Structure 1
Amino acid sequence: MNPITGETLALVSSPSFDPNQATLGYSADDWKALQDNPQQPLTTRFKQAYAPGSVMKPITASIGLESKAISPEQSLAIIGPKWQKDASWGGYFVTRVHESNPVNLESALVFSDNIYFAQAALKIGKDAFTNGLKNFGFGEALVYPFPLEASQIGGLGSEISLADSGYGQGQVQMSIVHLMETYTPFVNGGNMIKPVLLMDDQKSQVVKAALVSSGNAGVISGMLRKVVGDPGGTAHAADIPGYPLSGKTGTAEIKQKQGVTGTENGWFIAYNATSPNLMIAMMIENVQGRGGSQIPVKKVRDVFTQVK
């Protein structure tokens, strides 16, 4: 989409099916083959809501900064790859991939530190976090001509679920169109822009003015540039010389409980930091064991390479 005007430029779900053939009518065998295809070509993926994983972290950062529960300068002492608040969590731990200590907001975004954002969500608190998500449009239907599933907050009844939701796990879910909408404040001085689909729709509609202060929006946007530009950033594989991409990766685990093997969806959302007329968000299913979020990172980079 164009994050300044809100114009939808492309909606893609793959694998798909031939709609012309659907209009004319499938044979019984062809229809059964589509229904039985394990890749589910009949599922319109951009319509669905999914666990966002770490692409959620800039939203948590925004809520934390606006509520003053966190600050860019504050560093947290985080030691080791796993953490729990106290013994009341039993055998449950929040884990992270990149170990560093201390951790501030910038390093937490650049290295995608789950523990930092779990602690941030707990500092924000259930009520303020819920209200912040609602301000970002969670729990309400997106006014959009194509029917999209509403992004959901899910249950935040326990400290664990609140902590997990802070880094995009738990029961929080997002549609990819809504994900792009939630990133528009970072390129519009804190204003959230409505995604539009039809040519005659009004452009640059502000749905939430000053959702994020202009200062905080600029702080987060600068950090998202380092997610790509910093050699250690999780999206550094998307770095294009002379073309300053900002963005955020995410890997969402889909499983019933901790300690079991599940599937993973890889996410990446990016935009040009100095000329933000194009924003691309991509989610790819079942990336476990084959590159994780680096798969959409490289695919999104390829698109920007062609259009820059």
Structure 2
Amino acid sequence: GLLSDPAKRGGTLTLQDLASYKVTVTDAWTVPLREYQMYFPPPPAGGAILSLVLNIMKGSSPITTDEKILFYHRYVETLNIARGLKKHIRDPKFTSDEESFADDKRRLINDEIHDPRHYNPTLHVDSSGTTHVSVLAEDGSAVAVTSSINYMSVFGWFCFTVRNQLSKMILVWIILLFCHSKLLLYFSGERPPSNMAPAVLKSQSKTLVIGGSGGSWITTGMASAIMNHLWFGKSLKEAIDTGEKDVVDALEAKGHKIAKFYNVVNAVEKDDGGCLSAYSDERKKGKAAGY
């Protein structure tokens, strides 16, 4: 069943494929972010994109409404630039010198709104079926885990998830982001890119574990929550839940097209005094829990 079910759908999975597969264990990448060190999985995961966005935006602390409008305009422009760079996420050298790379990209941002082609966008299909768990243990261990089964249906070409009828296993071919892309032509068993960006941020006094779900909106939701909490002083609940209608209205008046999106972020934090706080966006019915 493990081989026959994929074969019925045009797959080419063989016993040799299973026997020769090796799990790659790598060290986390580390990027400085103000007083924090940010740890995240290396490419093809999406942490490199998230850290780039935060590095471009760091140093800003808007207070007045006008400052917030300008800040979020630049944030939207930063996300557009990051979206255009997603095609490079499989390159391990993508953030070899992230601070100078972020400085170069920051220079592209001004107070104007550009045609989407200006950002050289990456075409992709958003995924669903993703979940994230943030954990802090009594001994100080910190774990951020994002998992996904993508769409539970045939999606086209080699992009599908199927239920194995014999073993009742869920077989996931997460090549979804290669679809509608030149990368599909060159796929040869390498790990495909992902928007997942589980992260641990550590300073001298605090440890923050954070992650999210929502396809390409993972980066957006996590960056917003991290900035709200670490830079603007909001609690985890406020950082994850807060929306500012006056800023949204002003961005729309400026010409940005604002759409509602569905992504979920959850996080847990511990300070050096032992105080724990945790919160999960409730739209997926997630809750913080302890013992």
Same fold (TM over 0.5): no
User: Greater strand percent: which structure?
Assistant: 2
